[in-house]
Amino acid sequence: MQYTQLGRTGLKVSRLCLGTMNFGPNTTEDDAVAIMDQALELGINFWDTANVYGWKSGEGVTEQILGRFFARGGGRRDKVVLATKVYGNMGEWPNQARLSALHIRRACEHSLKRLQTDHIDLYQMHHVDRHAPWDEIWQAFEVLVTQGKVLYVGSSNFAGWQIAHAQMEARARHFLGLVSEQSLYNLTERTLELEVIPACRQFGLGLIPWSPLASGVLGGKLKAQETLSRRQEEWGQKVYHRNQEAADRYEVFCKELGHPPADVALGWLLHNMAVTAPIIGPRTVAQLEASVRALDLKLDETALKKLDEIWPGPGGEAPEAYAW
């Protein structure tokens, strides 16, 4: 396994991040345990989850599965850089969602209990909360860090200016602030290249792309629908029909390269110096093991140029992408 630093921190994480969103709704607990054990065997030490995963309001189904796995012992928890998230709706009452200090504190306590651990390595805001001021948010996280319940703080689905705002507010408090941003980024969706990636680079955030295969479209979608949940398949169909011509050209090009489409999509992300670790979300051990192949895939300048032709980005960084 290959490792890198998480943003500007001294923390070492694997170049692939194990996504657990399928655990519970689409992958049985027994299969999830097999996947997690194999991930450790492969050296994948960076794992991502969220309190809302499992999609049963307030239950944190996926976190509970991870917690029972860690409780098996054998050093499982100590081997993992564990990331989870706060923001999503965990109940019907007014303060059971978003980023008030009250919800951050309560959500952290509940996640710790479900995960059967005493600390969260990377606690991520799942979305920006436009109604919560940064002095309230950072004060809440500072308390959790001081208590030893959280080690690092990350964001997810933030715009570039929101990352900059958060970091400047944290700097004024002499607080480390954000160390990572988890965003939608793949060959079909490259909007991040305008401002989010430059912001991550400027402020030292590691970039953790989610949906690296665009809901299966970049993995030979039409030939592998059985590997997707109904929810993923419906979303993937929308992405495919929006990009049908490019997707067909992409599969032809991957065949010419002699590599599976999924490997090429992951390899393209890993080639980007801004990317820390794409999130892979295997439903089976076989899918997990297949993802590791991408670590050894090298794309030359000719291949990268061809991929840019098939999947053109926004034209570079802002403002040069749209101004003189």
DSSP label of 54: T
**Catalytic member of 53, 123, 240, 250:** 53
DSSP label of 221: G
Task: Give residues with Cβ within 8 angstroms of 103, minimum separation 6.
Answer: 86, 95, 96, 97
Active site residue 53: yes
- Dihedral, 171, 174, 180, 184 alpha carbons, nearest 10: -40
- 58 in Cβ contact with 93 (< 8 Å): no
- Report residue 104 as tokens: 């951050």
Please list the alpha-helical segments (H only) found in the chain.
Answer: 29-42, 61-70, 101-115, 134-146, 160-172, 196-203, 230-242, 244-257, 261-271, 285-291, 301-310
Q: Which residues are catalytic?
A: 53
